[in-house]
Structure 1
Amino acid sequence: MLSVLATVPVEMGGLGGAVVYIDTESAFSAERLVEVAQNRFPGHFISEESLLQLTSRVHVYHESTSSQLLKRLQTLEEDIIEKKVKLIILDSVASLVRKEFDSRTSQNLYERTNLLAKEAAILKYLAESFYIPVVVTNQITTRFGFNLSEVDVMEKEDSVTSSENGYVTAALGNTWSHSVNTRLIIQYLDDRYRQILIAKSPVAPFAAHEYDIQDKGIVLKCNGARQYEGTDPGLQQIRVRTSLQKECFPT
């Protein structure tokens, strides 16, 4: 949905530019891009020409290794200028490093931290230099015990487990969480609705927005945002589909 919003004209609430979408999980769907566009702006995307213009403005790069990703980030400045990029999406920053670096060894953890720091520095430079938003997705993981040992999950979120001895949280640890300016946590509420938590922001307090996903993308519930009550949401367990099923259908 963000890709669609970035490409539509400013007078329609968009950014009127192009998008760089870096896909490390092979999750990008051109079909879904078109579906969201046609349902969110039915009066604008009514012809094949308008849809071709949309897809031509979304530049997708598939990177399969950390070194390829770093090289791509280092060359993005030219792309931003030439293609009039108004949004950068990296989906996800966690995928490649979790496959390539075993965080249980100190040397690998050191190398992983350094690599993530380089990527964060480049993305911040691009955002600040060109005044464009950069959206980066993380993954979730299960941590156990007081030593915060981690079980990395490389597959879909249903594989993540939550139990009395472990809890689901964001991957990559505190170092990465401190690298971002704004941090949003997306979690399940029930079978239909999900929730966006503002866990970190330079301009907003902790808050929660409920939403569901429709043909036109994310749709917020009409009751608006509510203030988040409790401790830092970034320190709380993330609610995933598996845990909701256990709560709704106890055995």
Structure 2
Amino acid sequence: MKMASRLLKRAGISPELSDQLKRHKIESCKDLLTHTSFEVMYAAGLSYQNTLEMLEAVSKVIAPPITTALELWKLWNSGSCFSTSIPALDKVLRGGLPCGTITEVTGPSGCGKTQFCLTLSVVATLPKELGGLDRSVIYIDTESAFSAERLVEIAQNRFPDYFTCKEKVLQMASRVHIFREMTCQDVLNRLERLEEIIISTRAGLIILDSVASVVRKEFDTTLPGNLIHRSNLLGQESTTLKYLAHQFNIPVVLTNQITTHIVNQGSGTASEGDSGLVTAALGNTWSHSVNTRFILQYVDGRQRQLLVAKSPVAPFVVLNYTIQKEGIAIKENDDKETFYEGTDPSLQSIRVRTSINVDTT
């Protein structure tokens, strides 16, 4: 359980006692609870009764709390959403991206996934009266796709009335913390250390761009055992992200790539790596790890579409958009909701440019 990895000082243990236990290589709740009460008593230098009370207190801290449907309903209606700054999309989502959950943005290269993430980064730093979170951003970049110049350009063109001076631009940029992680293990290590970083930076948004990039480079799923190892790694990443989203009640946004599937007419199953239906990468199991999924796809050379392919609150909706200086833009006459017949989000067909060679690994 991810909460068991919480450091003792985050579980209500005093700094002095935490340091004492650390000298005996007991740093997390899991470390503490895997020792016998007598071992903990010796390491902590406490009486047996005080040791039992500490063990009970730590056990209660990491135990999953009981939540009622009424509490969840009150939380939703309290405005626990993060505005995308795209009114038409916020309307469909009943306020924006739900905090405490994972949102995935998938689509072919060049369709605007990183543009979407940069826009959200700007919005998160804005004052609350402007629809922002007044918090910082943790941006994990696995493709070296982050552009500080583009971040500033989006900010100044999307919110010209706010970013009127250099000081506000610099303040915004200083609150977006970039971590470039280029291997699967680096990404996982970063995620497992994020709890302290979230607290120290007052982060209100986590972005991982992209979740698929390093995984697909390192795991050739045609080799024996690799698919299992990849699934285990993705499972660890999604568990950690879900914990962080829930623990701090903040939105987590991921980007994903595309792959191709073909349905075997005899068995009715889909296999990854063949030409055929273009869908989101990483498979069916991963698609169930995210709470909300947006698909960005091409209509023509300039216009693109955003599909709400999975959401706990929104219907299957299509919004037409273009990429402008201010980022993703939806014209006023194009913001009417267009519904479509949805399907399994892991098998939802995605339109790509005919000139693009789809990565099938």
**Alignment-derived partner of residue 343 in structure 2:** 232
**Alignment-derived partner of residue 57 in structure 1:** 175
The answer to whether the aligner puts 1:10 opposite 2:128 as a matched pair is yes
Q: Determine the C-alpha separation between the residues in 2 that align with 1:231 and 1:92.
A: 25
Count of residues paired in the alignment: 232
The answer to whether the aligner puts 1:166 opposite 2:288 as a matched pair is no
Q: TM-score, normalised by structure 2?
A: 0.61
Maintained 8 Å contact 1:197/1:233: no
Structure 2 counterpart of 1:15, one-letter code? L
Task: Give 3-state SS (helix, strand or coil) of 1:72's partner.
Answer: helix
Maintained 8 Å contact 2:307/2:318: yes
Q: Determine the C-alpha separation between the residues in 1 that align with 2:309 and 2:197.
A: 31
**Alignment-derived partner of residue 210 in structure 1:** 320
By how many angstroms is 1:151 displaced?
A: 3.6
**Alignment-derived partner of residue 43 in structure 1:** 161
Task: Please say which of residues 100-109 and 63-72 is displaced more in the overlay.
Answer: 100-109
Q: Determine the C-alpha separation between the residues in 2 that align with 1:6 and 1:24.
A: 21
By how many angstroms is 1:46 displaced?
A: 2.2
Maintained 8 Å contact 2:316/2:342: no
CA deviation digits over 1:176-215, x for unaligned, max 9? 1010111111111122221111111111111111111110
Structure 2 counterpart of 1:220, one-letter code? I
Maintained 8 Å contact 2:296/2:306: yes
CA deviation digits over 1:13-35, x for unaligned, max 9? 11111000000011000000000
The answer to whether the aligner puts 1:20 opposite 2:138 as a matched pair is yes
More strand per residue = 1
CA deviation digits over 1:213-243, x for unaligned, max 9? 1101111232324242224173332101226
Maintained 8 Å contact 2:319/2:338: no
Q: Which runs of 4+ in 1 moved over 3 A?
A: 147-152
Task: Please say which of residues 235-244 and 4-13 is displaced more in the overlay.
Answer: 235-244
**Alignment-derived partner of residue 249 in structure 1:** none
Structure 1 counterpart of 2:293, one-letter code? R
**Alignment-derived partner of residue 150 in structure 1:** 272
Equivalent position to 2:242, from 103, 124, 127 = 124
Maintained 8 Å contact 2:192/2:240: yes
By how many angstroms is 1:41 displaced?
A: 1.2
Equivalent position to 1:185, from 295, 301, 305 = 295
Q: Determine the C-alpha separation between the residues in 2 that align with 1:178 and 1:136.
A: 14
Task: Give 3-state SS (helix, strand or coil) of 1:238's partner.
Answer: coil
User: Which structure 1 residue ranges, 5 or more long, are not aligned?
Assistant: 153-164, 245-251
Task: Give 3-state SS (helix, strand or coil) of 2:277's partner.
Answer: strand
Q: TM-score, normalised by structure 1?
A: 0.87
Structure number with greater Rg is 2
CA deviation digits over 1:127-174, x for unaligned, max 9? 11111100011101123452644349xxxxxxxxxxxx5221111000
CA deviation digits over 1:43-79, x for unaligned, max 9? 2212221111111100000001100100000011111
Maintained 8 Å contact 1:199/1:206: yes
Task: Please say which of residues 27-36 and 138-147 is displaced more in the overlay.
Answer: 138-147
Equivalent position to 1:110, from 203, 228, 234 = 228
